[in-house]
Structure 1
Amino acid sequence: LMGIMVVFTFANVSYAFFILKINAIGISVALVPLVYLFYNLVYAALSMPFGMLSDRIGRERVLLGGFFLMTFLLWGFSKATSSWQAWLLFFFYGITSAIIETIPRTLVSDWAGKDRRASTLGLYHTLVGLASLPASILFGAIWHTYNSATAFTYAMFLSAFSFILLLLFKRVPK
């Protein structure tokens, strides 16, 4: 699971790139804080309901949904050309974040077992944290070398690959 999350980290674009993109397609710098507030309200409102859903139907299923949504969110950012699309995409970014920022931690904690929970969560955050910097540098380099659409498409394919890996992943019984 941690390996899948490290791969997904390369698809999980820093919010700064989303902000740069919406500014490039017409959201003024003055409106960026409002768009980001909107995103955070959606994220905050849906984190608990998605956690409750994962308690009912399983964390893997909800996380698969998050990877699926992220794949289409990244596709949307690769194609976006107007400010109304930016608002819509940030709405879906909030939904996606409510899943991908919460469920993996719970899943890792569940799989670790009671006696290794803290150290496993520490390892998870270490691996994802170490992958975040090169992931952002690579995404930025692709954007700079080609364009934002290419960078978001690259991340979209990694998100889809993460979805497939998680779909195929079978938990090894303890």
Structure 2
Amino acid sequence: MRPKLPRTIWMLGLTSLLMDGSSEIVHAVLPLLLVNGLGASVFLVGIIDGLAEATASVTKIFSGALSDHWQSRKWIAAFGYGLSACSKALFPIAATPLAVFFGRFADRLGKGIRGAPRDALVADWVAPEHRGYAYGVRQAMDNMGAVIGPLLAILLLQLYAGDVTPVLWWAVVPAVLSVSVMMIGVQEAQSDAPRVARPFPLKASELRQLGRPFWLAMGFLFILLLPRFSEAFQILRAQDVGVPAAWAPMALVVMNLVSVPLTPLAGSWSDRVGRNKVIGLGFLLLIASHVAMALATGPMLVWIGAGIWGVHLALTQGIFSALVADHAPAHLRGTAFGVFNLAAGIAIFVGSAAMGFAWDQLGAGTAFALAAAVNALGLVLFLLSRRA
């Protein structure tokens, strides 16, 4: 019997669903706008997406630390959601790749501000033995938004005959609803412990309290995450093998449709068998996804690769969060999530830039094959480090 989760967890999930639905509408059409409409190279798409994600991750370390220092998580997260909602209005009026970058920068800055406090808030509300399930539920609702968003993008592209501008305006609506749910439905966790003044967590003396195992894990996770580059490359790969541009976002739909039902189950499984086994299996499947994408000459292997990528996400996304919460002292949870997301963001930036460069220079198939090789090396190092 699965545990009953507090209402705030479900409200956080609904907030994530709405905002991710909005973001995925944008994400589904933005690569097509950049490459087909604004003449950007695939390498530039990788740079823009990688820099945007890195921005989010750098910001998370500060927002997480502030949520620990101020002992308040909701309002920092709400500000981040609000900033992302406002950024959605920048995309429909963008006329250059630079303007798109500024929109993505603002959107991901908002994501960075909200991410660590929100993830720490989940741990504040849920007992340790149910964290995997709780993070899985929140992540599944987030991924549900990632199914709905690209589907809406495809339908709207058909409705507006391929014109992306009105599609981007529609993305503003769920973003505003997301902020409303966050403000009204989410509550801070109540603690019996007295509030005491704490030093700002981003000091060497405070960071050392996270412990050597935590820092070693961050180093190996950085290597592991290098080949998990921007999902924009799935859309471009679909178009590359002949899928019409208006249907290319279906790769994201397939990926997230597979991920949604499996994510809570994977989280609950990690509560029973341990996080490392589930994470290792997840990255083994990512290798298979890259291989399928590398070998694709038509849509079928692209859809299969996207579906395997979805299983990979189910076995890793929420479980990473549970793993961080397991290792972090309660008063440094926000900081720990910030450190983890900083490492993840830098890895994804490097991976996205390298993927875009390899695609332009060597071709899509070779680029995905190289990603599979890097992924295999990272998995071996991760498994050896956890055994040690």
Alignment TM-score, normalising by the size of structure 2: 0.42
Deviation at 1:156, TM superposition (A): 0.8
Deviation at 1:95, TM superposition (A): 0.8
Deviation at 1:112, TM superposition (A): 2.3
Q: 1:165 and 1:66 mapped to 2: Cα distance? A: 15
Aligned residue for 1:98? 314
Q: Secondary structure at the match of 1:30?
A: helix
Q: 1:112 and 1:60 mapped to 2: Cα distance? A: 16
Q: Rg larger in 1 or in 2?
A: 2
The residue type paired with residue 292 of structure 2 is: G
Q: 1:132 and 1:167 mapped to 2: Cα distance? A: 20
The residue type paired with residue 142 of structure 1 is: A
Aligned residue for 1:142? 358
- Specify which of 14, 18, 21 is matched with residue 237 of structure 2: 21
Q: Does 1:116 align with 2:332?
A: yes
CA contact (8 A) 1:13 1:155 kept: no
Matching of residues 147-166 of structure 1 within 5 Å: 147-166=363-382
CA contact (8 A) 1:50 1:62 kept: yes
Deviation at 1:79, TM superposition (A): 0.8
Give CA deviations for 1:26-61 in whole Å, capped at 9, x if unaligned. 222122233322322211221111101111111100
Aligned residue for 2:287? 71
Alignment TM-score, normalising by the size of structure 1: 0.90
CA contact (8 A) 2:289 2:308 kept: yes
The residue type paired with residue 239 of structure 2 is: N
Q: Secondary structure at the match of 1:81?
A: coil
Aligned residue for 2:4? none
CA contact (8 A) 2:229 2:352 kept: yes
More off after superposition, 34-43 vs 60-69: 34-43
Deviation at 1:135, TM superposition (A): 1.9
Aligned residue for 2:267? 51
More off after superposition, 57-66 vs 157-166: 157-166
More off after superposition, 125-134 vs 76-85: 125-134
Deviation at 1:64, TM superposition (A): 0.3
Q: 1:170 and 1:152 mapped to 2: Cα distance? A: 27
CA contact (8 A) 1:25 1:80 kept: yes
More off after superposition, 26-35 vs 117-126: 26-35
Q: Secondary structure at the match of 1:47?
A: helix
Higher relative contact order (CA closer than 8 Å, sequence separation 6+)? 1
Structure 2, unaligned stretches of length 5 or more?
A: 1-216
Matched pairs, number: 172
CA contact (8 A) 1:27 1:86 kept: no
Q: Secondary structure at the match of 2:249?
A: helix
Q: 1:72 and 1:171 mapped to 2: Cα distance? A: 23
CA contact (8 A) 2:221 2:382 kept: no
Give CA deviations for 1:111-145 in whole Å, capped at 9, x if unaligned. 22434322111111112112322221111111111
More off after superposition, 147-156 vs 59-68: 147-156
- Specify which of 321, 325, 341 is matched with residue 125 of structure 1: 341
Q: 2:377 and 2:325 mapped to 1: Cα distance? A: 23
Q: 2:320 and 2:367 mapped to 1: Cα distance? A: 24
Deviation at 1:71, TM superposition (A): 1.0
Q: 2:383 and 2:263 mapped to 1: Cα distance? A: 22
CA contact (8 A) 2:290 2:371 kept: yes
CA contact (8 A) 2:290 2:305 kept: no
Aligned residue for 2:296? 80
CA RMSD across the alignment = 1.7
More off after superposition, 71-80 vs 33-42: 33-42
More off after superposition, 32-41 vs 124-133: 32-41
Q: 1:108 and 1:161 mapped to 2: Cα distance? A: 23
Q: 2:375 and 2:300 mapped to 1: Cα distance? A: 24
Structure 1, unaligned stretches of length 5 or more?
A: none
Q: Does 1:61 align with 2:260?
A: no
More off after superposition, 71-80 vs 56-65: 71-80
Deviation at 1:171, TM superposition (A): 7.4
